[in-house]
Amino acid sequence: MAANPGGGSTDAGGGSVRHIPVLLEEVLAALAPAPGKLILDGTFGAGGYSSAILAAGAEVIALDRDPTAIAAGQAMVAAHGGRLRLIHSQFSHLAEHAPEGGLDGVVLDIGVSSMQIDEAERGFSFQKSGPLDMRMSAEGVSAADVVNRAKVADLIRIFHFLGEESQSPRIAHAIEKRREEKPFETTRDLAGLIELVTPRKMKDKIHPATRVFQALRIFVNDELGELAQALFAAEQALKPGGRLVVVTFHSLEDRIVKKFFSDRAGKASGSRHLPVAHERAATFTAIGKPMVSASEAEAEANPRARSAKLRAGLRTDAAAEAADMSLFGFPNLATLGKLGG
């Protein structure tokens, strides 16, 4: 799970925010948990959604790629007498944890938990001095590996596409110059350089490093690819009548979910200038409004909710389609495996 600054949630780069489940009432309304139903919470985090689903009488399979979240959730597992299974796994693998008969629901909250933000040693926040890490699973390539090893052209693409940072070239070239003298090791190393290169203006609502930190976090954890694969996995794992509910905090994530549901709505293939090649059976139909956002009251009470968007679909009895990543139009970015040390 991950925070989403810039175009996303306000807890992304910085301060301590107590974890409050976002759009909880709306999530429960779309998910419809009840006794006898089995729901998969693909982003357990602090257990906010799982707790509410259990309270509604459903059983829960919960996943999280963060071993810290798995350890912290054991007390909740013990308290629910077998109704909650908590598994250390990326949510892109959720179909592997579904029973043969399928799931009644899947919920995904695509955001970093406040627990991760609050732990300086995880390196998610530039307002807390710590190692430049950002790995949710504590394994693989770190943000420091990316900053110190990636080519300038790759850094520019990463910052521009994943962070929507307009000053990407200036920041990337400044990073290249500085790392020749001394590698980046801490969050303050990087944030301090960005502050010098692109100083904050009076009209700016966010810190100059917000978008770069967002881009690095998304890249290091392959968050967009994980989300896309999780949507395909949910399509396979849900039984007819099952519900897929996704809460996003950033425009890039919301765009992926919107494209997925639009594509799975069963539109006819072919051009408007040519005969229709064939009709595609819908694998999902919309639940309620196409998109739901937080009320003014919730956004005021919980800053994380301000950019949150919920989209939900009801699984039909049509066969799942192929997991074709080209649907989302992702650009070619640097390969993580080539950056590791």
State which H helix or E strand residue 118 sits in: helix 114-118
Q: Is 317 annotated as a binding residue?
A: no
- Cβ distance 321 to 277 under 8 Å? no
Q: Is 214 annotated as a binding residue?
A: no
Q: Is 48 annotated as a binding residue?
A: yes
Backbone angles phi, psi at 260, to 5 degrees: -60, -50
State which H helix or E strand residue 238 sits in: strand 238-248
Q: Is 159 annotated as a binding residue?
A: no
269 C-beta neighbours (distance < 10 Å), count: 9
| Rounded Cα–Cα distance for residues 247 and 291 (Å) | 10
Q: Is 11 annotated as a binding residue?
A: no
- Cβ distance 34 to 57 under 8 Å? yes
| Rounded Cα–Cα distance for residues 289 and 245 (Å) | 12
Nearest one of 46, 58, 159 to 111, comparing CA atoms: 46
DSSP 89: -
Q: Is 64 annotated as a binding residue?
A: yes
| Rounded Cα–Cα distance for residues 233 and 92 (Å) | 7
CA distances 92 to 43, 108, 145, 249, Å, are 10, 11, 24, 18
Q: Is 242 annotated as a binding residue?
A: no
Q: Which residues are annotated as a binding site?
A: 47-49, 64, 91, 109, 116
Q: Which residues are annotated as a binding site for S-adenosyl-L-methionine?
A: 47-49, 64, 91, 109, 116
